[in-house]
Amino acid sequence: MYRYEIGIPMIDREFGGLRAASNVLILAPPLTYAEHLAYRMACPRAGEWTIALSTDERAAEVVGAFRKQGAQRNQVGIIDAVTKSSVPTLRDTAKAKFVTSPLDLTSMGIKLSRMVEDMWREGVMADPPGPIPPPIRLCVNSVSTILMYARLEVTFKFLHVITNRMKKFEGIGIYILNSESFDERTIATIKQLMNIVIEVRTEDGRQSVERDFRVIGVRGRTTPWIRYFYDDGTLTIEEWR
């Protein structure tokens, strides 16, 4: 089965990345740059595609973030639920599709399916052809914003469909949830849909803010806490030995 390198040295080196059909929840407090950790994990390698479903940032900002990670523009598709509310005349393109708000979950799901179909078609027709099925990464930034617009039951049903699609397509999904904005019941409900959880924590030291994370669920194991840094658009993950 295809494996996805995710830019976390320990996971890529020790486990060969994540196996296809994985869904990963990044559970993080505010101001920890969790979206940049998600973009790093979702960044496509050669022969891969990424779809970013953005409820927090405009399409141009998301594309820019992936370009900084090394992705080519034609490898990334955006479903933007932010921009159209202020620019209602926007029209969809092959790699950028727009919905009116994060509440429009039906349109998000439809446009996600269409974009996956288009990317599969590109993968099958590529010369030379890549892996079959074509490897696709999904990044949802963020589940927190969807929960602000939709009830937990509605959000759960939407994510249930999306996570099952990623399993069916043999892709991987990366989903961000603010760990401090929701009660334990909400977090536990969303966790049910995931097979891997990344817990992020932060501590205010005397001179700097320290941030680290651990990965739970890779082959039934939990990694040690791994330190990371974010500075001027660059995310650096400390090597763990």
229/96 Cα distance (integer angstroms): 30
pLDDT of residue 93: 94
pLDDT of residue 132: 82
The pair of three-digit structure tokens given for residue 132, joined into one six-digit string = 């079959």
pLDDT of residue 38: 98
Structural domain total, the chain: 1
pLDDT of residue 206: 54
pTM: 0.96
pLDDT of residue 240: 66
CB 31 within 8 A of CB 21: no
pLDDT of residue 230: 92
105/134 Cα distance (integer angstroms): 25
CATH of the domain at 230: 3.40.50.300
pLDDT of residue 76: 97
Give all strands (DSSP E) within the chain, no chain letters. Answer: 3-4, 18-19, 22-28, 49-54, 76-80, 96-98, 136-141, 172-178, 196-204, 209-218, 221-222, 226-231, 234-237
Provide the 10 A C-beta neighbour count for residue 185.
Answer: 9
Largest CA distance in the chain: 56
172 is in which domain, residue-wise?
3-237
pLDDT of residue 103: 94
Provide the 10 A C-beta neighbour count for residue 223.
Answer: 18
CB 81 within 8 A of CB 104: yes
pLDDT of residue 241: 56
Peptide bond into 133 cis (omega under 30): yes
pLDDT in tens, the chain (241 residues): 899 999 999 999 999 999 999 999 999 999 999 999 999 999 999 999 999 999 999 999 999 999 999 999 999 999 999 999 999 999 999 999 999 999 999 999 999 999 999 998 888 888 777 788 899 999 999 999 999 999 999 999 999 999 999 999 999 999 999 999 999 999 999 999 999 999 999 987 656 788 999 999 999 999 999 999 998 888 999 986 5
pLDDT of residue 233: 82
CB 50 within 8 A of CB 40: no
